[in-house]
Amino acid sequence: MSEFRVEKDSMGEVRVPSGAYYGPQTRRAAENGPVSGVLMPLPVVYAAAMIKGLAAEVNAGLGLLPPPLAEAISRAAREVLEGRFDREFIVDVFQTGSGTSTNMNVNEVLANRANELLGKPLGGNVPVHPNDHVNRCQSSNDVIPSAIRIAARRELSEELLPALEGLRDALAAKAREFSDVLKIGRTHLQDAVPVTLGQEFSAYASQADHGIRRIRATFPDLEELPLGGTAVGTGLNAHPEFGARTIAEIDTVTGIPFRPAENRFEAMGAQDPLVSASGALKTTAASLMKICHDLRLLSSGPRCGIGEIDLPSLQPGSSIMPGKVNPVILEIGIQACAQVIGNDAAVTVGGSLGILELNVMLPVMARNLLESIGVLSASSRLLASRCVEGITPNRRRCEELIEQSLAMVTPLAVKIGYNRAAELAHEAFHGGKTIRVLLKERKILSDAEIDRVLDPRTMV
């Protein structure tokens, strides 16, 4: 089989004139439905092109396509994957719910380029026809769901997981670095017993690691492809071996264990794997939002807030207050997570509209799922490299807040009783004194015992 392991930025150089290769069906779809100006994500287009290039080779092996035509289609598909025809894919993401317009856009580009490679003029559909040859043994109804799953699965493993792993590792490194930094803990935004800054960061690293595991758990379902089901899952007009053979080639080319769907009717009528993947992204977004909020709180001030950590100073954050630096990277992350949470709502609604034998929300589900993967990947990389790696502890501030905290009365409860300890906390608060000072004034314990009981190192 031909080499389809092409990796290229989808924003790479365009080397063909726009409009030269798509055909009349694409043109009509683009003219009839320019709703948003947002196009089908290129990873889906590339996945569809890969399917069709490999399908042509499989069809030649099955005796369904003349080898010269199959090779021309395959070569055209490889060129699409190189990014040479990006501007030829012009259909708005809000299109027919099966993604037929995108499927025909790919068919027409591949057919025209294949004919050109065979020395024939563009637009003639001879000798390669977009339906009869490029779309042989296929339907939009099985190609587009397969392409979306392939695109999502690859983007998750190639983009998002490495980004999350980098963030997890950066947080884990800070957890080790800050393991000796004692600070006050907080529950309900109120003072609690001491922790170490390292323990706080270990929680953040664990959150990122759990997100990675949740995302990986969605892979097996995404790897089921309905290819070969054609219109409604029965495989009408397809060779009985076409689906399994083509999916085996996709497996080989991508290195991902794609396999025929356990039930093609389920895999075409429902898109639960996309809903599940989006749900894992939403959970990860909620997790990262918590981390970003925490880091904003811990760095707040720098003098009139908590101020227990210092963030890298990246850019002036105020147009009116000189010297003020805002937590820019954290706010980028929070906004990205909010977008992912919103996208999940659209994907969930899309999944619920698997009407009878076909889900008719495929383009919008693809768009939102892939955008979520993209913004989580970018924001995670940014959070790790431009924020977490540069965080430093404010040890003096951490020590100061521990000493001032009324929660330091907690270990006294086992010595003098809960009620008496609560009275001491109340008196210390209203008297503006620390627990240590009040204990010494009241001579409740010896100085040595006070120092031992109030040693924060014994509380973590």
Q: Are 332 and 341 in contact (CB under 8 A)?
A: no
Residues 6+ apart with CB under 8 A from 353: 97, 359, 360, 361
Longest alpha-carbon distance in the chain: 100
Q: Round to whole Å and give the CA distance between 202 and 204.
A: 5
194, containing H or E segment: strand 190-196
Angle at 444 between CA 443 and CA 448, to 5 degrees: 80
Task: Count Cα neighbours of 283 within 13 Å in the Cβ-side half-sphere.
Answer: 17
Task: Name the residue among 44, 5, 333 with its Cα closest to residue 163.
Answer: 333
Tell how far CA 142 is from the center of its chain: 25
Q: Round to whole Å and give the CA distance between 423 and 430.
A: 11
Amino acid at the residue 352: S
- The residue written with tokens 């706080």 in the block is 200
Residue 407 DSSP one-character state: G
Residues designated as active site: 188, 318
Residue 272 Cα distances to 165, 224, 269, 328, 416, angstroms: 26, 11, 10, 36, 58
Task: Name the residue among 140, 143, 84 with its Cα closest to residue 117.
Answer: 84
Q: Are 409 and 435 in contact (CB under 8 A)?
A: yes
Residue 89 Cα distances to 84, 108, 289, 351, angstroms: 11, 10, 35, 25
Q: Round to whole Å and give the CA distance between 386 and 158.
A: 21
